[in-house]
Structure 1
Amino acid sequence: MNTTTAATQANVTVATIRTWCRRGVIAATKQAGRWTIDPASLAHRIEIGARMNRPTTRYTVTEGTNQYGTTTWTVTRTDGTPAGYGPGKDSRITDFTFLQKERAETGAAILNALPDGYYVRKHEVRYHRSSINENHWVWRLAGGDDNDPQDVRGDVRLDTDKDIAVEHLVRCATQHAAGTADRIQAKAEQDAIEAAESAVREAREAQLAEARQQKGPLATPRQVDYILQLLGRRERSGEGGGFFYGPTDRAGIETLSKAEASTYITSLKGDY
C-alpha cells in the first residue's frame, strides 16, 4: 500500500503517513524513495486513533473528600453505575480514588479509549528487598475474550503522561484483540488433537487390560525392544526360519504374554 492510499484510509495527510513511517508508528519499508505500508499495521493505528477519540464518554472524574477532609478525585461511570463487585456494579473502577487529579483523569481516559472487553487495574509492582528497584504502582491491562488462552500484557506507571499511557495501553489491547480469533482456533484444534490422542491411549489401555486378563503378565518393555531389535536384524540379513511366528510391530508384540515373548526371542535367536 502506498502513502496516498494509506492517507485516504486513515483520513490524514500524506505527510502524516510519512511521519508515521519514519517514526515506526506503522510498519513500512522504503524502496527507491517510496514507502510501502503494511495494511494490517495501518489498520491497527486507525483503530487506536478511533479508540482515543471515541465520542462516547463512559467514565469521568468526580471531586470529593475522604474521611480526613482531604480533596480526592474518583473515576466514576457517567450513567451512575456504582463501583464494586456483583450484579449492577462496575468492578473496573473499584479503588479508583486518587489524591492527584491527573491520575484519576488518566484512568478515566484509558477506560474510555480501550477496546470493548479490556480494562485496567491499579497494580503494585513489588521487588525483592535486595533489588535496587523501588516498588511502584502501575496501570495493568486486563480483560479480553475469556476463551483466549493468552492473557493480555501491558503496564504503565501511574505517573505516566495521560496521552502516552492511553496510546500504549490501547495499542497493547488492540494488538492482543487482533490475534484472539487465531489463538482460540489454534487452541481448539490442539484440544481436539489431544482429545483424539487420549481416546487412542484409552482404547489401547483397554486392549492391553483385556489381553492381560486372558494371558496373565504381558511382555516387558525390555522384551518388546529386544524382539524388535531381532526382527530388524533378520530383515537386514534376510534370514528366516524359527519355530515360533508372532507379530512384527510394537503394538502386536506388546499383547504377547511374557512366556510367548520369551519363546519368540528364543525362536528369533535360533537357540533351539
Structure 2
Amino acid sequence: MNTTAAATQANVTAATIRTWCRKGVIAATKQAGRWNIDPASLARRIEIGARMSSPSTRYTVTEGTNQYGTTTYTVTRTDGTPAGYGPDKDSAITDFVFLKEEQAETGAAILNALPSGYYVRKHEVRYHRSSINQNHWVWRLAGGDANDPQDVRGDRPLDANKDEAVEYLVRCATQHAAGTADRIAKKAEQDAINAAEATVRAAREAQLAEAHRTKGPLATPRQVDFILQLLARRERTGEGGGFFYGPTDRAGIEEMSKADASTYITSLKGDY
C-alpha cells in the first residue's frame, strides 16, 4: 500500500503517513524512494487512534503546581473515580505526576488504548554495572488475566514518541491476551498431571514404608539398578539358572529386603 492510499484510509495527510513510516509507528519498507506500507500495521494504528479519540476516554492530563511552585502534569481519570490503573484498588496512580507535559500525555494515551485488564507503570530500570552511567525510566506493561502463568512483557522509554509507545505496548498486550486462554488451559492440564503423579508417588511411598516395616531395610538404589542390569544381561545372553529367584521389575525389586537383594545379586552373577 502506498502513502496516498494509506492517508485516505487513515484520514490523515500523506506527510503524516511518511512521518509514521520514518518513526516506525507503522510497518513499512522503502523501495525506490517510495514507502510500501503494511496494511495490517496501518489498521492497528487506525484502531489505536480511534480509541484515543473516543468519548469514553478514561484518563486525561490535568495541570497543577507542586509545593515548590513548579508546574506539574498529572494523569487522572475522567469519570471521577480514583485514578487506579491496575486490577485492584491499591494500584492508584500515585506516581503519575510529571514535570513534562509530553510524558503525562503519553501515559494517558497508553492507558486509554490498552486492552481491558492491562496497564502501565512508571518503572525505573536500575543498572548495577559500572560501565552503565545512569538509570532510566520506562513505561512498563503489566496486567492481564490473574490466572495466566505468563507475565506480559513490554517496555518503552518515558520520553518515547507517544504514537510509537502506544502502538508498541498495545501490540504487546494484544498478543499476550490472544494466547492467554491456551496458556491457562495448558497450565490446568499440567497441574492435573502433576496432581495425579503426586498421588501415585504418595501411594508408592506408602507401599515402601509398609514393606520396610515388615522386612526391615530395603534394597538400596544401587542394588536395584545392579539387579536390573544383571537381568537385562541374562535376557540378551539367554543364560539362566541360579539358586535364588526374585522379581524382574523395578517396583518389585525395590520392595525386597536389603539382605534378599544381596542374595539375588549373588545368584544372578553365579558367584556361588
The TM-score normalised by the length of structure 2 is 0.80
What whole-Å deviation, never above 9, does each CA across 1:176-231 have from its counterpart, x for those lacking one?
11111111111112212221221111111111101000100001112112211211
SS at match of 1:212: helix
Q: Which residue of 2 aligns with 1:59?
A: 59
SS at match of 1:235: helix
Retained in 2: the 8 A contact 1:63–1:72?
Answer: yes
1:132-143 correspondence runs (5 A): 132-143=132-143
1:200-215 correspondence runs (5 A): 200-215=200-215
Retained in 2: the 8 A contact 1:141–1:153?
Answer: yes
Give the letter aligned to residue 114 of structure 2. Answer: L
Gaps of 5+ in 2: 12-16, 29-37
SS at match of 1:72: strand
What whole-Å deviation, never above 9, does each CA across 1:139-180 have from its counterpart, x for those lacking one?
111111111111111111111111111111111111111111
**105-114 or 242-251, which moves further after superposition?**
242-251
CA distance in 1, matches of 2:215, 2:96: 70
**204-213 or 132-141, which moves further after superposition?**
132-141
1:269 Cα offset (Å):
2.1
1:186-265 correspondence runs (5 A): 186-265=186-265
Q: Which residue of 1 aligns with 2:47?
A: 50
**50-59 or 109-118, which moves further after superposition?**
50-59
Retained in 2: the 8 A contact 1:117–1:144?
Answer: yes
SS at match of 2:255: coil
The verdict on how the C-alpha distance between 1:166 and 1:224 changes in structure 2, with shifts beyond 3 A counting, is: same
The verdict on how the C-alpha distance between 1:187 and 1:205 changes in structure 2, with shifts beyond 3 A counting, is: same
Size of the aligned set, in residue pairs, is 247
Q: Which residue of 2 aligns with 1:181?
A: 181
CA distance in 2, matches of 1:96, 1:74: 6
Retained in 2: the 8 A contact 1:48–1:171?
Answer: no
SS at match of 1:183: helix
What whole-Å deviation, never above 9, does each CA across 1:24-71 have from its counterpart, x for those lacking one?
9679xxxxxxxxx9xxx94x8755642442112000111111111221
Give the letter aligned to residue 206 of structure 1. Answer: A
**Identity across matched positions, percent:** 77
Q: Which residue of 2 aligns with 1:103?
A: 103
SS at match of 2:217: coil
The TM-score normalised by the length of structure 1 is 0.80
CA distance in 2, matches of 1:187, 1:197: 15
SS at match of 1:137: strand
Give the letter aligned to residue 195 of structure 1. Answer: A
Gaps of 5+ in 1: 28-36
CA distance in 1, matches of 2:42, 2:195: 39
The verdict on how the C-alpha distance between 1:121 and 1:166 changes in structure 2, with shifts beyond 3 A counting, is: same
The verdict on how the C-alpha distance between 1:137 and 1:57 changes in structure 2, with shifts beyond 3 A counting, is: same
